[in-house]
Amino acid sequence: MKDKPKLSDIFPLPNEAKRLQYFVGDWNAEGSLTFQGRAFKVKGSWKFSSAAAGWGILNVGKMDIEGLGAYEEVDILGFDPGEKMFHFFAVTNTGAARDHKGRWLDDKTFSVFHEALQDGKIYREEIEAKIMSPREFTVRERDTLDSQVITTMEVTMKR
């Protein structure tokens, strides 16, 4: 008599999701943010945990933004094999609750975006994470309102 299949046999983990395991662990963040035409230094820590048997990751982060105080964010990122895309849902202490979509652009670059209306204008967030080494990756974010850049961020994450 054959063994009954397990969920992992019926829903095998795709390579796109397996690659997320690179991010699992504790990271220190340091970089810069431009907001309302001013530049700020940022520094903090992020913890990524595997979620849903490797189909996603959970992220809890906190950074100090020079002169502005603590920035806090919680994210859940998961792979949808039907769409062959990731969904990245973020909630922050700045009132943001965003659903981003994206994919791996290549073996080292992960990219997501969110687009919606804000005050009747098109608001877009673009976030790219690039693996630099086994112990370092960079995150770049660019936010626009009606195609005008309103916020940028560049952060280096190190183990």
Neighbours of 16 (CB within 10 A): 17
Domain locations along the chain: 28-158
Place of tokens 């035409």: 37
Contact 53, 85 (CB under 8 A): no
On whether the CB atoms of residues 138 and 131 are closer than 8 A, the answer is no
- 104-134 tens-digit pLDDT: 999 999 999 999 999 999 999 999 999 999 9
Angle ∠(49,55,57) on CA atoms, nearest 5: 25
Q: Tell me the whole-structure pTM to 2 decimals.
A: 0.93
Give the pLDDT confidence of 24-60 residue by residue, as tens digits. Answer: 999 999 999 998 889 999 999 999 999 999 999 999 9
What dotted CATH number matches 28-158? 2.40.128.20
In the numeric block, which tokens belong to residue 74?
A: 């919680």
Which value, in Å, is the radius of gyration of the alpha carbons in the chain? 17
Mean pLDDT of the chain: 96
